[in-house]
Amino acid sequence: MLRLLISILVGYVLVLVLVRIFEPRFVFFPDYPGRLAGDWNPRNLIVQDVWLTSSDGIKLHAWWIPNEKTEFTFLAFHGNAGNITDRAPVYEFLRDLPGNVLALEYRGYGRSEGKPAEQALYRDAGVAYDYLVNVKRIDPKTIISFGQSLGTAVATHLAARQQVGAVILEAPFPSAARLAKVIFRFLPGLSFLVRGQFDTQARVQELRVPIFIVHCRQDPVLPFTLGQEVYAASNAPKTFLEINGRCHEEASIIAPEKYRAALQNFLNSVGR
């Protein structure tokens, strides 16, 4: 019996080690459902292709979606899986608020080169921010760091290190460790392997700008309670918007009027 228990323990440890080794394949899904799938010339958006180069030489692709009747610019970081074409309706929603939109494609996603990794994604976000400030001459106080799902970790990390006007998080999660405990309960110990990664909860505690969090009550990917945890950890002024429905990154699609009204009130307060 002792030998059996030892064998099970050793086998489980090996499983955790393998998960750690192949972690990027479990964390990032740039090829699902297809890396270049989608409409790269959306009918309802006038998009300008932007090419950026990261500090390590990786070429990054982004969409610049201008709106001349606005004072705000959304620096948008999308969620896991797919590419920016999948979020075209979201960018249309942001443009019509109104706002300019710079939608970044992380390395390894869509038309961007390279392979995704946590610190690399943060580096990519910094490149996009520098483009807005130094090339487009956007006032940092009018930049809204906007993240969805995985992108919420990127948005908060950027806002904790660069000057922005506000932060908007759609379907956030506190950290990779917290997510592992909730979703992978059948793998005890996994949270210790990802401790400190994608630590949104720690980053929001560093923010001194208004924060707006929206989460769908029946989110099929990231439980609603995770968004509440991020909100509880955030500093004031802060706003939480609950969308009653089954959605993940689609809050602006299934409840556009409710979302728009709340978001416009939030942006008005940021402007003041």
Which tens digits make up the pLDDT trace of 31-88?
878 888 999 999 889 999 999 999 899 999 999 999 988 889 999 999 998 999 999 9
The predicted model scores a pTM of 0.88
The structural domains of the chain, ordered by start, are 2-271 (3.40.50.1820)
Query: Residue 182 pLDDT more than 70?
Result: no
Distance, CA of 106 to CA of 104 (rounded, Å): 6
Three-state SS string across 104-144, please? ECCCCCCCCCCCCCHHHHHHHHHHHHHHHHHHCCCCHHHEE
> Looking at residues 145-173, what average pLDDT do you find?
97
Cα 101 from Cα 114, distance rounded (Å): 23
Q: Is the pLDDT of residue 25 over 80?
A: no
Closest CA to 40 of 99, 88, 103: 88
C-alpha span between 152 and 230 (Å, rounded) = 10
Between these two residues, 103 and 13, which has the higher pLDDT value?
103
